């Protein structure tokens, strides 16, 4: 059985009220339970900014295009 509602206790009529949503991570606190951690609004924007800067820094450090970072890291 799945609970597909992202519920943090605060209910909104429309997702426009909270702005962007970013997945921060997931965990499995119990068997058959998956918890997804989300950031919304300004926190989601801040998280995306940090991740984007890190991705660009990794590309520069590896001297590859951004889209090639994952492949470069997987090389033996």
Residues 15-60: tens digit of each pLDDT: 788 889 899 998 888 888 888 888 889 999 999 999 999 999 999 9
* Cα–Cα–Cα angle for 41, 10, 24, rounded to 5 degrees: 45
Select the more confidently predicted residue: 71 or 31. Answer: 71
**Residue 21, C-beta contacts closer than 8 angstroms, at least 6 positions apart:** 6, 15, 38, 39, 40, 44
- Domain range annotation of the chain: 15-74
Between the two ends of the chain, the Cα-to-Cα distance in Å is 41
Full-model pTM: 0.71
Do 39 and 47 meet the contact criterion of CB atoms below 8 Å apart?
yes
């Amino acid at each position: 059985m799945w609970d597909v509602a992202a519920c943090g206790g605060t209910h909104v009529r429309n997702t426009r009220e909270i702005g962007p949503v970013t997945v921060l991570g997931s965990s499995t606190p119990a068997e058959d339970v998956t918890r997804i951690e989300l950031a919304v609004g300004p926190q989601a924007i801040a998280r995306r900014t940090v991740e984007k800067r890190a991705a660009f820094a990794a590309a520069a450090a590896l001297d590859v295009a951004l889209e090639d970072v994952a492949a470069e890291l997987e090389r033996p």
